Amino acid sequence: MMIEVEKKDFISLLGKTQNIVEKRNTMPILVNVLLEAGNGHLKVFATDLEVSLTDEIPVLREKPGRVAVNAKNLFDIVKELGEAPITLTRKENNWLEIRQNKSVFNIVGISADEYPVFPSYSTNDFLKIDSAMLSEMIEKTIYSVSNDETRYHLNGVYFEKQNQTGKEVYRMVATDGHRLSLVDRQVEVKGAGLPANGVIIPRKGLFEIKKLLDQVGGDCEMAVEGSQLIVRQGSTVLMVRLIEGKYPNYQQLIPQKLTNHALVHRESLLASLKRVSLLSNQKYKGVTLSLSPNRLEISSNNPELGDAKEEIEIRYKGAELKIGFNARYMLDVLNSFDDDEVDIELNDQLSPGLMRPHNDASYTCVVMPMRI
């Protein structure tokens, strides 16, 4: 195998693989990427058996062949080279020579035959969806995904199609048991769509999908085949192994008929929470919200550090109420909002609170209270 490629194309190609290759050394082979030259292109394959990526770039000249090499080592070398074309040559012992002008590197490779069988798909039933909208849906839910490996079905975002009359609406939901994020978006459907019963997309796969969507605008294509979610955009194909299992009935976690309503300026609440939480419990970040007409007091108390208190003006309808929340959870929610004003709805100090952007009823966040 011998190929000559443009540096900017090659570094972009390798950059997409860096977070996908396995870093935990559970299978040493997975720290490698597979390079395959042929038909005027260089193709790269990267997988950790959960998330898999393949992409390609045109080559200036080639001699077909395949080799697998360490993804990080190759990326680090290419990153430091100049902007001239780079020549890659596989040696007889599967080493890879990287040459640019007077710079020559030889790195250890392995036979392409040792690389895991790369996942493939045969479906043509792809849904076309706006990349920016899908990226926004991921951003508004991914922070609520659970880190608890024992609750594996909560280690991802639930993606489903809603049956709303006359509309094609897709929903993403995530919860870790302490908070929940739910966002609906109307989709102009071009293609077959996704299964009616919804799928659970793991966190790592979502990060890689979002990274791909943010690089190029326009539409992307999505399909589900078996236990794989396939996302295509341009020449890039991402395949994500879906989480098996039934997602919990998240509707039960969304409080109904809330009696106390507050309208708060987002930036004021965000800044106050950041300051007051500096003197809260370092692990649980507990703060107390005291609501009364036109006034919200935010306070924290930590015997080892001290206490803090701030007041901000709000519009409030309801009974006077004192309730505790994890400030970090509230900050995550507020950082995901775009509106200047936030609706907060509450019942009592033991019931979950509901937060929404004032002008976006299709985005709902639930935060469980905590005892302070």
Q: Domain containing 287 — which CATH number?
A: 3.10.150.10
Confidence band, pLDDT 50/70/90 cuts, at residue 212: very high
The rounded distance, in Å, linking the Cα atoms of 239 and 56 is: 15
pLDDT tens per residue across span 13-57: 999 999 999 877 678 899 999 999 999 999 999 999 999 999 999
The rounded distance, in Å, linking the Cα atoms of 175 and 173 is: 7
Residue 47 located in a structural domain: yes
| Residues whose CB is less than 8 angstroms from the CB of residue 273 and which lie 6 or more positions away in sequence, other chains included | 287, 298, 327, 330, 331, 334
Domain boundary among 202, 226, 250: 250
- Residue 164 predicted with pLDDT over 60: no
pLDDT at position 22 = 80
Domain boundary among 114, 137, 162: 114
| Residues whose CB is less than 8 angstroms from the CB of residue 163 and which lie 6 or more positions away in sequence, other chains included | none
Residue 37 located in a structural domain: yes
pLDDT at position 125 = 87
Question: pTM of this prediction?
Answer: 0.92
Phi and psi of 102, rounded to 5°? -95, 5
Residue 119 located in a structural domain: no
Task: Report H helices in 33-184.
Answer: 71-80, 131-139
Confidence band, pLDDT 50/70/90 cuts, at residue 167: low
- Residue 165 predicted with pLDDT over 60: no
What share of the chain in percent tops pLDDT 90? 86
pLDDT tens per residue across span 303-345: 999 999 999 999 999 999 999 999 999 999 999 999 999 999 9
The SS3 assignment for 251 reads helix
Picking from 140, 118, 126, the residue whose alpha carbon sits closest to that of residue 229 is 126
The SS3 assignment for 345 reads strand
Confidence band, pLDDT 50/70/90 cuts, at residue 193: low
Whether the CA torsion 288, 370, 183, 54 is positive or negative: it is positive
Query: In terms of domains, do 167 and 103 share one?
Result: no
pLDDT tens per residue across span 251-297: 999 999 999 999 999 999 999 999 999 999 888 899 999 999 999 99
Residue 218 DSSP label: S
Residue 120 located in a structural domain: no
For the chain, the domain total comes to: 3
Residue 268 located in a structural domain: yes
Query: In terms of domains, do 219 and 141 share one?
Result: yes
Residue 146 located in a structural domain: yes
Torsion angle of alpha carbons 65, 26, 120, 34, nearest 10°? -20
The rounded distance, in Å, linking the Cα atoms of 86 and 177 is: 50
As a whole number of Å, the end-to-end CA separation of the chain is 65
Domain boundary among 81, 114, 147: 114
Domain with 281 in it: 254-367
The rounded distance, in Å, linking the Cα atoms of 268 and 249 is: 34
The rounded distance, in Å, linking the Cα atoms of 147 and 298 is: 28
Q: Mean pLDDT across the chain, nearest whole number?
A: 93
Confidence band, pLDDT 50/70/90 cuts, at residue 132: very high
Question: CA 8, 71, 69 angle in degrees (round to 5)?
Answer: 110
